[in-house]
Every structure is written in C-alpha cells, then in structure tokens.
Amino acid sequence: MRLSAPIYHLKRRAKRLSREEGIPLHDALDCIATREGFSAWSMLAAKAAALTPASRLFPQFQPGDLVLVGARPGQGKTLMSLELAVEAMRSGRRAAFFSLEYTEKDVLDRLRAIGVEPAQFDELFEVDCSDAISADYVVKQMATAPRGTVVVIDYLQLLDQRRENPDVSVQVRALKSFARDQGLIVVFISQIDRSYDAAVKPCPDLGDVRLPNPLDLTLFDKLCFLNNSEVQFRAAS
C-alpha cells in the first residue's frame, strides 16, 4: 500500500475538508480514505498501522532503553511515539503517555487519528497530563509498572520549565536509572531547533536537538528523527 501522503497529513486534509464542506470529521475522513482507494477511514488506518515505521522500530527496543524521538512541529513525532506505545500494547505490554503539552482528549484524538480506538487498550493504556510531571513524578506513578512498559514523555524540553524542578540533565539521568532498574522503555519526544534546514539534510540529528539547558545526549540509547515522511533511526554509539 502506498498512500499519497503520510497518514497525519491525510488527517489534516480531512480536518480541512470538514471545515470547508461543513461535514462531520468522520465523514471527511471516509472521503479522504475513498480517494486513497479504501472504503472507509478505519480500513485505511488499520492497513497503515501494520506498515508504520513504528512496527519496524519497536522490535529493536529493549527494556531499559532511553529513546529520543525528534522532529520539527507538524512532522509526526507525537504520532510516532503513540504508534510505539500501540506496538507495545499489541504485544500485551502496558503503555503510559505523560504530557505537559496536550490534554487527555488531545492524546486520545491522536490515537484515533492513527486508527486506534482507545477503548481497545483500556486496561493497558494510561494518559497523564498533570502540570506536576517531572522525573520524580513519573517514577512515582510508574513504580509498580511491569517490565517492558513503554513510557512516553511529552516533551523533553518542558521537564524543567517549573523552577522547582531539577535541571533536565538531572531528570533524564534519574529516568535512565529508573528505566534500567525497572526494565521500562522510556520515550522522550523532543523539539528540534529552528535552525534545522531540511534543504541541507533530509532529517535532523543530535546536533539539531533544541537544548535551552545543557544535556548530555549520549544518555539516550536509541534515536529516531523525522522530517517530511523521512524516518531515520539508529542506536546511539
């Protein structure tokens, strides 16, 4: 199957169509799916889910890994991270999404955008959008999480936005130790600096990660960068 655009771009087309035509979003999604050769959006999303980069990447993760997913706004880093969580849940593992950026409704809507009905994984998935999110908070909430649980943190650069929180470097080190001790996979969504130029290289890399505060990026075990449907993944050296 080859879509005319990444699924998150198709979702945007549907939203635009919904506004322009004054039709419900689910009807607009079905219309976009028909243009792509599917009878309904659910069919398109289900097929796409089986072929996502996340389905190829997730088997390369190991309990204890610290993973960085970086991209400029609108390039799909949140959806990629959610797809990784879905891959975990499809294998029977738990997943948690901690967001300092979105509401719970936003997160669940993005799950639906990739063809996943949240109720499907009701017992395996949790969303936490507390303003108190920090390394200590995540450790406390995940203290009894079973080995192999995927924990997504949205996003790296917001962890120390509150003055009472430790520096981001201290928090990442704490989460790395916790992930290894507990056998969790911790995925950090990361901003990419505005200086990144897609005309120079197809995907950003470690040198493009936005760092308002110092952070040793070698703490991450796996790296995933996205831009314009290009996905680059590697294990950190």
70-99 pLDDT, tens per residue? 999 999 999 999 999 999 999 999 999 999
pLDDT digits (tens, 9 = 90+) for 10-43: 888 999 999 999 999 999 999 999 999 999 998 8
Structure-block tokens of residue 179: 């992930």
* Structure-token pair, residue 65: 């890994």
Collapse the DSSP code of 145 into the 3-class scheme (helix H, G, I; strand E, B; otherwise coil) and give the result.
coil
pLDDT given at position 50: 65
DSSP letters along 147-192, please? TT-EEEEE-GGGTT-STTSPPHHHHHHHHHHHHHHHT-EEEEEE-B
pLDDT of residue 131: 95
Determine contact, residues 69/188, Cβ cutoff 8 Å. Answer: yes
Of 196, 226, 193, nearest in space to 211 by CA: 193
- For residue 237, pLDDT over 70 is answered with no
pTM for the whole thing? 0.80
- Average pLDDT on 195-203 reads 94
pLDDT at 1 over 90: no
- Is the pLDDT reported for residue 206 higher than 90? yes
* Higher per-residue confidence, 2 vs 104: 104
**pLDDT score at 145:** 97
Residue 76, SS3? coil
Q: What are the structural domains, with CATH classification, of the chain?
A: 7-49 (no CATH), 53-235 (3.40.50.300)
Residue with tokens 């204890």: 64
Q: Which residues are CB-neighbours of 5 under 8 A, at least 6 positions away?
A: 13, 229
Pairing of strands 150-154, 222-227: unpaired
Residues 6+ apart with CB under 8 A from 27: 18
Q: Give tens-digit pLDDT for 112-168.
A: 888 788 998 989 999 999 999 999 999 999 999 999 999 999 999 999 999 899 999
Residue 65 confidence (pLDDT) above 70: yes
Give me the percent of the chain exceeding a pLDDT of 90. 79
53 has a pLDDT exceeding 90: no
Q: Which of 228, 194, 204, 174 is nearest to 68 (CA)?
A: 204
Give the model confidence (pLDDT) of 213-224 as tens digits: 999 999 999 999
Is there a contact between 217 and 209 (Cβ–Cβ < 8 Å)? yes
R_g over Cα of the chain: 18
